[in-house]
Amino acid sequence: MDAMATMVPSGNGHQSVFGYTSPGVLSFDDKQTPRSHSKVELPTTVDDISEGEILDARPYALPPRSRENKVLPEDFKTPDKHVERDPRLIRLTGVHPFNVEAPLSDLFDEGFLTTKDLHYVRNHGPVPLVDDNEVLDWRFTIEGMVEKPVEMALRDLLEDYEQLTYPVTLVCAGNRRKEQNVVRKSKGFSWGPAGVSTALWTGVALGDLLARAVPKRGAKYVCFEGADKLPNGYYGTSIKLSWAMDPERGVLVAHKMNGEVLHPDHGKPLRIVIPGQIGGRSVKWLKRIIVTSRPSDNWYHIYDNRVLPTMVTPEASANLPDTWKDERYAIYDLNTNSAICYPAHDETVSLTNGPEMYKLRGYAYGGGGRRVGRLEVTLDQGKSWTLASITYPEDDYRLAAENEILYGGRLDISWRDSTFCWCFWDLDIPTTSLLEAKDVMVRAMDDSMNLQPKDMYWSVLGMMNNPWYRVVIHREGDTLRFEHPTQPGNIPGGWMERVKNEGGNLTNGFWGEKFAGEEEVAEPEPVREVCMVNKGVARTISIEELREHGGEDQPWFVLNGQVYDGTKFLDGHPGGAASIFGAAGQDATEEFMTIRKFPVHSENAKAMMPEYHIGTLDEASIARLASDGDQSPESTEPRPVFLQTKVWSKAVLSSKEKVSPDSKIFTFSLDHDTQTIGLPVGQHLMMRVRDPATGDAIIRAYTPISEDTETGRLRVLVKIYYDTPQNRGGVMTQTLDRLPLGQTIDFKGPVGKFTYLGKGKCAINGRERQVRRFVMVCAGSGITPIFQVLRAVMKDKEDPTTCLVLDGNRVEEDILLKPELDAMAEANADRCKILYALSRPLSSWEGLKGRMDKALYQREVGGPPDTRDVMVLVCGPTPMEDSVRTVFRGMGWSDDDLLFF
């Protein structure tokens, strides 16, 4: 191929290289082609072609027109504030990172080719920012086991190599995962059936680039690494070298999508496109191609995109590194799958004046180049099947004229046997047949006779879900209503959720339907919604007025668009005044609603809110509050202190240490080695994680066991409350336990109403108090705030304060931090006394036996002294705290002397 690019003047006076103009806006141009190929005069843009001209001139379709999008308000506060997006896309993992799919009907209606607007997106972190004038200079390398390592710019890729254009369907391995998450939560978020899209990709054959670098003998894999910096390094993965070199597999290093420079969400300016394999192998923002003898050791290659054996639970998977590294469980080729798109979810059809025939429609795809050969429909739950008609739009592109250039690349797949795109099916059904059926289901089979299974294969990551796609039919008066299995992300609805909520067993082989002899399950009691507003308040508040009350004098905060004055609640808030100050001038909905989902806080906290309700934030201010973020941007300079009261800060999970059968110390790496935590003794911090199945925020308060002198790391002792046959375990603790190393967690703080200042001086909600003795009562993981204060007292040899610790547990191995506690007691025998009580001790236990009760408290503590210089600090399970409150009040202690963490 000629090393010189064909240069033609672009409209702005700059030279254009195969449709790229620099500097300025990047365009696409069909008329430019390498010299070794004959030029074909084609329209410059899609806008220049009418639908009729497309049909007359070409056997294949061009993409539908893209929309004019803009940066959305919800992205203003994220690292993706430079990315324009379509508001129709459904966010599956909160605001950031951006993981989305289109509404299924909108996706299907676009046809064979999907615009950049509705193409699904799977991002693990921030989208790299690449300005238009930097695109041609974007550099990447080919390295590793090669004779001639290569470093080149995108400009070189355009000038020196043949450009190709292929239609390719990309599918996320998590497509349809929501169905698995309804059955049992996996470690992945909830994709619906629209994690699939098709585009025309233009680029260079990967095999051509590897041939230039000349792989060495013994090389067997090609690894890819992107520019997206993530908690576990840069995103990367690998495929076999033989696949990469095989023209039949059509692997591209792509720089255009549907004739446009890649959209930032889709890899601008350069990505890998691997037809027939899961989307997770098609690395975006490509920076490195590494030839190796072994599969990639990248964290994301090992701990993502795998189907582990179905018996591996989320809990067990966190401690099975060899299982994760087993390449037998890695996913490459897609499996056969299909879905029903019409009838849509909640679509209705009239039985009186509706059509006599209804056209069922949907999509199907195979993997590894295999073609879907049949699509079958059943109206009687698999007793009989009917063949649907299938259309293969990809075949139209095989009819393109020889050497035809499309979007700067040669369109030639006429010689290829492989099928790399989805197909569409349809079947006309009499409406009366739908009336007589409970449901309609579909299954596909590819040309290797791989058939979609009837039943789900659940796995810990929720990947490759492809059982028969089932739509339930409801007769409602004179209409039929259709119900899909699920709705994507956090959107409620679908027969699977309904059946599960009604007590049905989704794994019984009958889609959760009851059958003779199955026990009836009582309907769940409806949840009573507590009113949180004062209906007599009609005041409208602007964001400027809200921000005027963003300090500690009169802290206002927002819940669900309503404004509350927290001044009266500063003394009474269980999290202390710092919790209110941290929310001042902010939208605190997520923290409030998430923490109060569990019984200790929920109804009582909500019922109190009308007392503090002062008005409603106006609509413009609500939008500004969502987009403005904090009043001043966070500095890019390294912070000396990690915790911030109004902003969530990220730390990386670096290790887990098991210290008891159900407790672990989680260690998090801070921003830099010299960074301090910034947590006063006696205070707590808030931890936020995202439920991997729903994307919901889970927020809880914890007291770390890190010393105040530690830097660069944060250690938190957590008791894991596992699910049992009788009870559901802790959502937060089990989610934490399932997180892989390298995952980021959000922290905010400090919060809490108690602070130990040293030498017997403490502060409760800012009011100082001098004590000479602490009585510390705790149980289980309630030891952590007690331990923090006790350590501070004992560490200062000049501190005269004495401490009595009463620590209750079931068995000896449940006693947390016992070596550290015993060491402090031994070194400070004159100031520290620790008593352990076990409710289920072994015969060899020599300490206190039985639960901590009134007799113990009377014997070891007794009534309050006249001097009121003793405080009782309490932390443990609610029943224990209630018992302490009752007993100590009965012994004459006042509430001012009892502090419950």
User: Is-catalytic flag, 304?
Assistant: yes
Report the relative pairing of strands 802-809 and 773-779 from DSSP bridges.
Answer: parallel
| CA-wise closest residue to 102 among 523, 512, 552, 489 | 489
DSSP string, 657-723: EEEETTEEEEEEE-SSTT-B----TT-EEEEEEE-TTT--EEEEEE-----TT-BSEEEEEEE----
SS3 of 860, please? Answer: helix
Question: Of 341, 419, 373, nearest to 169 (Cα)?
Answer: 419
* Distance of alpha carbon 715 from alpha carbon 117, whole angstroms: 43
Active-site residue, selected from the candidate residues 304, 412, 737, 814: 304
The residue count of the chain comes to 901
292 DSSP assignment: E
Which residues are CB-contacts of 492 (< 8 A; sequence separation ≥ 6)?
Answer: none
> What sign does the CA torsion over 513, 519, 521, 522 have?
positive
Give all strands (DSSP E) within 74-127, no chain letters. Answer: 90-91, 99-101, 121-122
Report how far apart, in Å, the C-alpha atoms of 348 and of each of 107, 192, 356, 469, 498 are.
20, 21, 14, 19, 18
Reply yes or no on whether 305 is catalytic: yes
Phi first, then psi, for residue 413 (nearest 5°) are -120, 15
> CA dist 442 to 22, 246, 469, Å?
49, 34, 5
Count the neighbouring beta carbons within 10 Å of the beta carbon of residue 528: 6
Reading the block at residue 372, the tokens are 């879907």
| Three-state DSSP state, 842 | coil
β-sheet bridge partners, residue 271: 254
Q: How far apart are CA 2 and CA 86, in angstroms?
A: 40
- Catalytic residue (one of 29, 99, 123, 172): 172
DSSP E strands, 116-189: 121-122, 139-144, 150-153, 164-171
Distance CA 496, CA 182 (A): 7
The structure tokens listed for 457 are 């294969």
Q: Taking the alpha carbons of 328, 333, 336, 341 in that order, is the dihedral positive or negative?
A: positive
Closest CA relative to residue 472, chosen from 480, 461, 460, 464: 480
> Cβ(608)–Cβ(642) under 8 Å?
no
Nearest of 511, 463, 462 to residue 483 by alpha carbon: 511
875 in a known ligand binding site:
no
Please give the Cα distance from 500 to 208 (Å, whole number).
52
| Residue of 305, 466, 490, 809 with catalytic role | 305
Nearest C-alpha neighbor of 280 from the set 188, 183, 186, 153: 188
Beta carbons within 10 angstroms of residue 53's beta carbon: 12
CB count, 10 Å around CB of 420?
28
- 291 strand-pairing partners: 144, 222
Question: 3-state DSSP call for residue 751?
Answer: strand
Spatial CA neighbour of 451 closest among 512, 558, 509, 372:
372
172 is known as an active-site residue: yes
Catalytic residues, by residue number, are 172, 304-305
User: Which residues does the annotation place in the binding site for Mo-molybdopterin?
Assistant: 172
